[in-house]
Amino acid sequence: MEEFFNKTRIYFGSGSLSHLLAYQSQRCLVVADPFLVQSGLIGRVTEQLQEFEIFDQVVPDPPLELVVTGIQALLAYRPQVMIAVGGGSAIDAAKAILQFGRQTQELKGQSLTFAAIPTTSGTGSEVTSFAVITDPKKGVKYPLVDAAMRPDVAILDPQLVTSVPAVIAADTGMDVLTHGLEAYVSTKATPFTDALALQAIRDVFLYLPLSVQAKAEPALDDAKAQPRARMHYASCMAGLAFDAASLGLNHAIAHNIGGKFHVPHGRANAILLPHVVRFNAGLSDYAQREFSPAARKYAELAEMLGFGGVSVRTSVRNLLRQIDRLQQQIQMPQRFRDCGIEETQYQAAAEAVATGTLSDSCIATNPRIADRRAVAEILKQSY
């Protein structure tokens, strides 16, 4: 027997922040990215509330220390509602704070509503049971997984993503594509996760270039915000897909590159993506008659997206070509050497990155088993 379940209630579209009015009579702890506080964007959230406190110490790739400080803020304020506002870093930090905070004597057994409001369109964290926390000393990112971390409510207001600069729109958009593709070929994929992944992947090809080109300004009118809105929903759909189907080798490597070199998460995924697709597809010579399950799924996907070929081989190649074209359209760096990482440092870290990759939980659902040699080869190609 199989199951598809996601408990998060999703409010989306212009005006969806008004759902927060439901919390007016409650004490709310708002965990926010400092950018939102400095830019004043947080006002869109707090103007709906009456009694609130803001915890704004979130940093990209949230470290363990931040979680500890956050738990102290949680215990000091004792909110009835926790509201995470920001990119994946803010939402993940809030998830970990709540997850560990709930296990303290003070909060055990207390009910607390958790709402997540993404302000980037990439991680899908607003609907997932994942939280990625970094140990900066070891240079490792740990994907924590627990169904209890899924937010009760997600609010997708496209007006909150109109200020995202092009480069962040590009990075986070490639995170959506990677989530969709990894979920689609995952060993845990089902027709339900495929449907969500397919829609998200389709929307990335259609809307990401337009979304990156959209001028970053605080309030685009609704029509101009459409590509950004579609990417915002695509991010959430990909999140629903991978929350159930999980991810794969791409994320396992990206977590370790990100932990060591702080390459933005979506960019690390984007650089690795063509190499991982090639590895998973496992195309060999032209005489090949049997194709791997992943190759067949990539080919099926290419067909559904309108760029299928005459055979599995040509369809996979077309998919790779389209990924390459998309990356060029959004000016994504294609190699880690273009991300300011020194070759000597990269090589010195390769062994540890491979070790971390092989023990990352995301690798368990990759469609093709990857050993140390395969990871080393992908690392070499992507530099």
Q: Smallest distance from the beta carbon of 307 to ligand NAD, in angstroms? A: 26
Asked if 130 is part of the footprint of ligand NAD (rule: CB under 6 A), the reply reads yes
Asked if 131 is part of the footprint of ligand NAD (rule: CB under 6 A), the reply reads yes
Report the phi/psi class of residue 70: left, alpha or beta, with left for phi > 0 and alpha for psi in -120 to 50. Answer: alpha
Residues 6+ positions from 302 with CB-CB distance below 8 Å: 308, 309, 315, 316, 318, 319, 322
Nearer residue to ligand NAD within complex by CB, 172 or 327: 172
Q: Smallest distance from the beta carbon of 367 to ligand NAD, in angstroms? A: 19
Asked if 114 is part of the footprint of ligand NAD (rule: CB under 6 A), the reply reads no
CB 241 within 8 A of CB 193: yes
Q: Select the residue interacting with ligand NAD from 33, 157, 203, 360 (CB under 6 A).
A: 33
Q: Smallest distance from the beta carbon of 130 to ligand NAD, in angstroms? A: 4
Stretch that binds ligand NAD, among 114-122, 224-232, 312-320, 352-360 (CB under 6 A): 114-122
Q: Select the residue interacting with ligand NAD from 70, 79, 88, 356 (CB under 6 A).
A: 88
Residues 6+ positions from 157 with CB-CB distance below 8 Å: 12, 13, 14, 15, 16, 17, 44, 117
Q: Select the residue interacting with ligand NAD from 71, 83, 132, 332 (CB under 6 A).
A: 132
Q: Smallest distance from the beta carbon of 144 to ligand NAD, in angstroms? A: 9
Nearer residue to ligand NAD within complex by CB, 98 or 316: 98
CA distance 117 to 17: 9
Nearer residue to ligand NAD within complex by CB, 19 or 262: 262
CA distance 302 to 63: 38
CA distance 105 to 284: 58
Tokens of 35: 């950018």
Q: Select the residue interacting with ligand NAD from 156, 160, 270, 299 (CB under 6 A).
A: 160
CA distance 254 to 38: 29
- H-type helices in 78-190, by residue range? 88-101, 166-185
Q: Select the residue interacting with ligand NAD from 16, 48, 99, 163 (CB under 6 A).
A: 163
Stretch that binds ligand NAD, among 19-27, 168-176, 302-310, 367-375 (CB under 6 A): 168-176
Stretch that binds ligand NAD, among 71-79, 103-111, 155-163, 197-205 (CB under 6 A): 155-163
Stretch that binds ligand NAD, among 107-115, 167-175, 196-204, 373-381 (CB under 6 A): 167-175
SS3 of 123, please? coil
Asked if 357 is part of the footprint of ligand NAD (rule: CB under 6 A), the reply reads no
CA 219 to chain centre: 24
Backbone angles phi, psi at 30, to 5 degrees: -100, 115
> Hey, what's the torsion of the CAs at 363, 367, 369, 371, to 10 degrees?
-60
Q: Which residues bind ligand NAD (CB under 6 A)?
A: 33, 35, 60-61, 86-90, 92, 119-120, 122-125, 128, 130-132, 141, 160-161, 163-164, 168, 172, 175, 265-266
